Amino acid sequence: MSNLLEISGVHKHYGSTKALVNISLKIEQAAAIGLVGKNGAGKTTLLSILSGALRPSSGEVLILGETPQTIATTGKLNILPQDATFKKGIPVKKQLVLFARLQGMSQVHAESELDALLSELGECDFVNKAPEQLSYGQRKRVGIVQAFLGKPQLVILDEPTAGLDPVVANDVRKLIRKLSRDSAFIISSHNLYEIEDICSSVIILDKGKLLANKAISELASKDSSISISLNRAPEEALLSALKDIDTVNEIQLDSVNNEKLILQLSSQEMDELQLRIQRTIMEQGYTITEFSRGKALIDGMMDLVEND
């Protein structure tokens, strides 16, 4: 069986600017994959190459064993581009039916498939309007529906929640979870909590280079550490008080946010230990502003970026 995705030695440059440098990676099984990196890291360029919208300057991309161009008509791969807009003046539903027809569905099948997907949106009368009459959030949701039309094997979502308020972004995430039951997807986002929440593995890009392609669990350990943000930078007294707790193996200070600590633990009794740590911190006169069990993806990613 073909790999879901295979990228070999892909370079992409715009004039003298190198957008991607020698990207090679292989993803064997269908999965929920996050693509993260700072602005200009090459996320959109990589996703555009995967969708066939951009040509790599060199290297090869295979999706389900085929190039993005040959896979096109089979409806195995769909994309939600970051800034693309639907045709103005034409009702969105009509355009969605056209997309489904282009994937080889009959008119009847296209309409029933679309109705099934739209039912996941709840209130969806807006699809009968032209795209310019829709709100930004509605356009994003419709874009996601088009990406999952026809149950493609792989869906590429380029920053689907960018620019959305938290409530709508949450709705969009729920929609992605619902619709992705039958499809693997690659999602790019600046929101690492979002990636951690809905993805099982993550690809990290930095300055066009591949930094990591790992399972989220490898980068964001769930049980062996605790991340704590305080109201001020911790002083030596607090650090030594925490070190005195038997099962605290190591205390790391966040290099970017000096009010944040990551505690590496060895205890299995996490609930009890958690309470003990919280008590110790409060006894030292600090206020905990954020407390999460496990090392967050952002911490794992920061470690990688700093070590690079």
Partner 1 sequence: MLQSQEGIMITSAVYGTDGALNLFIEHPPGVSLFYLISLAIIPFFVVLASYDQFSTDLGSGFLRFLIARCKRVEIFLARFLAAFVTVAATFLIVAIINTVLSIRNDDFAPTEIIFYSIQVYLVILLYTLPFVAYMSVISSLVNSTLASIFLGMSGFAVIWFLNLFTFFTEHKDVFSYLLASSMKQYLIDMHTNSFIWAMLLLPLYLVVYAALGFKVFNQRNL
Contact positions toward partner 1, by CB under 8 A?
Answer: 48, 51-55, 69-70, 72-73, 75, 77-79, 81, 83-88, 99, 102-103, 146
Do the Cβ atoms of 219 and 300 come closer than 8 Å? yes
Q: Report the largest interatomic distance among the alpha carbons of the chain, rounded to a whole angstrom.
A: 71
Helix (H) or strand (E) holding 178: helix 166-179
Per-residue tokens: 194:
């979002």
Helices (H) and strands (E) in the chain, counts: 10, 13
Minimum distance from residue 159 beta carbon to partner 1 (Å)? 13
User: Closer to partner 1 at the Cβ: 51 or 189?
Assistant: 51
Per-residue tokens: 77:
């791969």
User: Closer to partner 1 at the Cβ: 148 or 286?
Assistant: 148
> What one-letter code names the amino acid at 255?
S
Q: What is the dihedral of CA 238, 243, 247, 252, to 10 degrees?
A: 80
Do the Cβ atoms of 125 and 152 come closer than 8 Å? no
Minimum distance from residue 156 beta carbon to partner 1 (Å)? 8
Minimum distance from residue 221 beta carbon to partner 1 (Å)? 36
**Burial grade of 257 (CB within 10 A; 0-12, 13-18, 19 or more):** middle
User: Closer to partner 1 at the Cβ: 132 or 308?
Assistant: 132
Residue 40 in 3-state DSSP?
Answer: coil
User: Closer to partner 1 at the Cβ: 19 or 261?
Assistant: 19
Minimum distance from residue 65 beta carbon to partner 1 (Å)? 17
Do the Cβ atoms of 213 and 205 come closer than 8 Å? no
User: Closer to partner 1 at the Cβ: 77 or 202?
Assistant: 77
CA atoms within 13 A on the CB side of 89: 0
Minimum distance from residue 54 beta carbon to partner 1 (Å)? 5
Phi/psi-derived region of residue 227, left when phi > 0, alpha when psi is between -120 and 50, beta in every other case: beta
Minimum distance from residue 42 beta carbon to partner 1 (Å)? 14
Minimum distance from residue 207 beta carbon to partner 1 (Å)? 20
Residue 154 in 3-state DSSP?
Answer: strand
> What one-letter code names the amino acid at 116?
A
Minimum distance from residue 130 beta carbon to partner 1 (Å)? 13
Do the Cβ atoms of 287 and 231 come closer than 8 Å? yes
User: Closer to partner 1 at the Cβ: 58 or 231?
Assistant: 58
User: Closer to partner 1 at the Cβ: 75 or 300?
Assistant: 75
User: Closer to partner 1 at the Cβ: 88 or 181?
Assistant: 88
